[in-house]
Amino acid sequence: MGASKKPARGSVFFREVVGATAVDPHLEACLQCGTCGGSCPSGNDMEHTPRTLFAMIAAGMRETVLRSNTPWYCVSCYYCMERCPQEVHITDVMYTLKRLAIKEGFSRQSSAAQAPAFSETFMEHVERYGRSFELGLITRYFLRHRPLDTVKIAPIGAGMLRRKRFDLTPRKIRQIEQLQAILARADELERNAYRV
Amino acid sequence: MQYGYYPGCSLERNAGAYHESTMAVAGVLGLQFTEVDDWNCCGATEFFSVNQMQAYALTGRNLALAADQFAPKPALPVIPVEVAEPPQLVAPCSACYLNLSKVDRYLASSPELAAKVNTALDAGGLHYDPGSLRVRHLLDVMVNDAGYDAIAARVQRALTGLRVAPYYGCLVVRPGFQGQFDDPEYPTTLDKLMRVLGAKVVDFPLKAHCCGGHMTQISEEVALELLRRLLKNAADYQADVIVTLCPMCQLNLDVFQRAVNRRFGTNFNLPVLFFTQLMGLAFGLAPERLGIGKEFVASRPALAKIGTSVEVEQERAVGKRAKQRNDQSLPMPYMPEEEER
Ligand code: SF4
Ligand code: SF4
């Protein structure tokens, strides 16, 4: 989107990533200094550091990149973005890679396989009520996607209820239809953006 | 002073203590927070990972509602409205603050994106002009608008004897989409605020590191290690409490502390409170009005130290350590100092 006016550079996949990021992430400016990976709290658990991933994007290694666990272990802390000497919007690129991986169905094979399920369950509640509904989110997400871990999370849920830190029922905003209309139109725009 | 207030979903329930104490403290300081009417969830990090346009539209609706509600009213044409100053929107949650300020900035930087988001908003009869609001974090408003002096003047029960580890987490100081009110890597505003309240602020090198966000729900392995590092760091400097400014940080450090202890065989017992709760206590407000007691790791034993002289003994112990660390042969990293009050 933002980068469409620039002359085409890099691999086809590179252009796909830049094109799918709403605001130009300046990815072509990456000079492979490695500051991002060195600053990343999840760096140890990532299959590829952000720097490596960006080199792979430039080289057009689409499937390897989209199968990497790296974007899913990104916790959106913006440390890399703060420190990057080239002002690459690293966190936004990570979000784009997550979206592309979901689109290709690759995400479920990575070692952070549960992340998209968590995001999608969260979104279902927001679309229905306008606000997040923590008790519903946790129960539905665990029962549906991680039934075996339910016993682990149950005491925490009980503790939250006891301290009145969970609502028993969701809170709905007044103009939920308005929000749903906005989200539906946004979803159309989203689909069109990928239909290049 | 008047502000639009965006509480966010966490403050409605799981971080109700943050909301209650914010309101109580704002009342004492004469800050007027008016809630954005019918606001929706900010989307946290979840929408951006799945549906980008919905993520922008979701926050776009909040911005549009707030801009409309808090626009300067031209009802009194005699008084020149200072058009230069957009109305201010305060968010106490770091993630909400980030989303609101980021979306406003990005829409301003890309007219193309702004047009798309407005196409979506139009489906609900809304519109937002980027730059119509100035988004601020609650901590920024407390220390820079209310100010340290006004806060100091309200202290009735100084927090002497309490050793506090100030925890900023990531998003409040990074990446500063609408300007940075503190250092992005070694912030000190919360330190100074705690000192103004009379607390003893301990060194906390990991104070701006990430708590893991939603990782506790996805990969405990990754999340618990991040939390262990933070807890160990605060415990190493003998903190009595960790003080936070974000509901996600509070939830992770507090609720998952037992899981950390179980996994690593550690014995952390560090209550995690919101900075507004400590402000309220120092202002002499009743703990019940500040939501104290809703935390998993009980804070009462630590808070009982307020006004005691425990500090003196601990000071001596720390003094010894400090001497060891001061070895001339070791090049110690430079940390920005700030004037002591
Ligand atoms: S810090 Fe920036 S320039 Fe350096 S490798 Fe990472 S993205 Fe590239
Ligand atoms: S934003 Fe993501 S990639 Fe960047 S430092 Fe944080 S966790 Fe790592």
- Residue B307's pLDDT is 79
Residue of B nearest to A173 (CA): B38
Specify the pLDDT at position A113. Answer: 76
pLDDT at B277 exceeding the cut of 80: yes
Between CA B196 and CA B169 the distance in angstroms is 21
Interval A86-105: pLDDT, tens: 999 999 999 999 999 999 98
Say whether pLDDT at B137 is over 80: yes
Q: Name all contacts of B308-312 with Cβ < 8 Å and 24+ positions apart.
A: B308/B161, B309/B161, B310/B161, B311/B160, B311/B161, B311/B163, B311/B200
| Residue B198 reports pLDDT greater than 50 | yes
* Mean pLDDT over the full length of chain A: 88
Judged by a CB distance cut-off of 8 A, whether residue A163 touches chain B is yes
Model confidence band, residue A117 (pLDDT cutoffs 50, 70, 90)? confident
- Supply φ then ψ for residue B292, to 5 degrees: -75, 135
The pLDDT tens digits for B30-39 are: 999 999 999 9
> Quick one: DSSP state of residue B81?
P
Q: Cβ contact (<8 Å) for A112 and B218?
A: yes
The pLDDT value given to residue A108: 66
Residues of A in contact with B116 (CB under 8 A): 189
How many whole angstroms separate alpha carbon B338 and alpha carbon B341?
9
Q: What is the pLDDT of residues B215-250, one digit of tens each?
A: 888 888 889 999 999 999 999 999 999 999 999 999
Residue A97 Cα, gap to closest chain B Cα (Å): 8
Is 60 exceeded by the pLDDT of residue A188? yes
- Which of A30, A46, A79 to mutate to test ligand 1, by most ligand atoms within 8 A of the CB atom? A30
Nearest residue to B256 via CA among A159, A44, A42, A114 = A159
Q: Residue A135 in 3-state DSSP? A: helix
Residues B246-262: pLDDT tens digits? 999 999 999 999 999 99
Q: A105 at the B interface (CB within 8 A)? A: no
Q: What is the pLDDT of residues A10-28, one digit of tens each?
A: 799 999 999 999 999 999 9
Within 122-141 of A, beta carbons closer than 8 Å to B belong to 122-123, 126, 130-132, 134, 138, 141
Which positions in chain A touch B15 (Cβ < 8 Å)?
165
B49 CA distance to ligand 1 middle (Å): 21
pLDDT value for A145: 82
Q: Give the whole-angstrom CA distance, residue A11 versus residue A28.
A: 11
| Contact B226/A at CB under 8 A | yes
The pLDDT-based confidence of B316 (bands split at 50, 70, 90) is very low
CA B173–ligand 2 middle distance (angstroms): 15
Q: Which of A46-60, A130-144, A178-192, B51-65 has the lowest mean pLDDT?
A: A130-144
Q: What is the pLDDT of residue B84?
A: 62
Q: What is the pLDDT of residue B331?
A: 47
What's the confidence (pLDDT) of residue A4?
47
Q: What pTM was computed for the model? A: 0.89
Instruction: Say which residue, A145 or B9, is predicted with more confidence.
Output: B9
Picking from B10, B12, B41 by the largest number of A CB atoms within 10 A of its own CB, the best residue to mutate is B41
* pLDDT band, very low/low/confident/very high, at B75 (cuts 50, 70, 90): low
Q: Which residues of B touch A22 (CB under 8 A)?
A: 52-53, 56, 106, 110, 113
Residues A28 and A22: their CA atoms lie apart, in Å, by: 16
Average pLDDT for residues A40-44, to the nearest whole number?
Answer: 89
**Among residues of chain A, what percentage have pLDDT more than 70?**
91
Do residue B174 and residue A182 have CB atoms under 8 angstroms apart? no
pLDDT of residue B6: 97
Confidence (pLDDT) at A181 = 97
Give me chain B's average pLDDT, please.
89
User: Of chain A residues 50-69, which have a CB less than 8 A from chain B?
Assistant: none
Cβ contact (<8 Å) for A95 and B123?
no
**130-169 of B, contacting A, C-beta below 8 A:** none
d(CA B67, CA B134) in angstroms, rounded, equals 10
Identify which of A84, A67, A66, A77 has the alpha carbon closest to the alpha carbon of residue A43.
A77
Q: What is the mean pLDDT of residues B150-169?
A: 96
Nearest chain B alpha carbon to A135: B14
Residue nearest to atom 2 of ligand 1 (CA): A84
Q: Which pLDDT score is estimated for A151?
A: 77
pLDDT of residue A9: 64
Q: What is the pLDDT of residues B88-107, one digit of tens each?
A: 999 999 999 999 999 999 99
Note the pLDDT of residue B76. Answer: 56
Q: By CA distance, what is A41's nearest residue in B?
A: B210
Q: Do A193 and B41 touch (CB under 8 A)?
A: no
ipTM value, please give it: 0.90
Is the per-residue pLDDT at B319 higher than 50? no
Predicted confidence band at B326 (pLDDT cuts at 50, 70, 90)?
Answer: very low
Q: Evaluate if residue A148 carries a pLDDT over 70.
A: yes
CB of A82 closer than 6 A to ligand 2?
Answer: no
pLDDT of residue B83: 56
Residue A132 has pLDDT above 70, yes or no: yes
The chain B residue lying nearest A81, using CA atoms, is B175
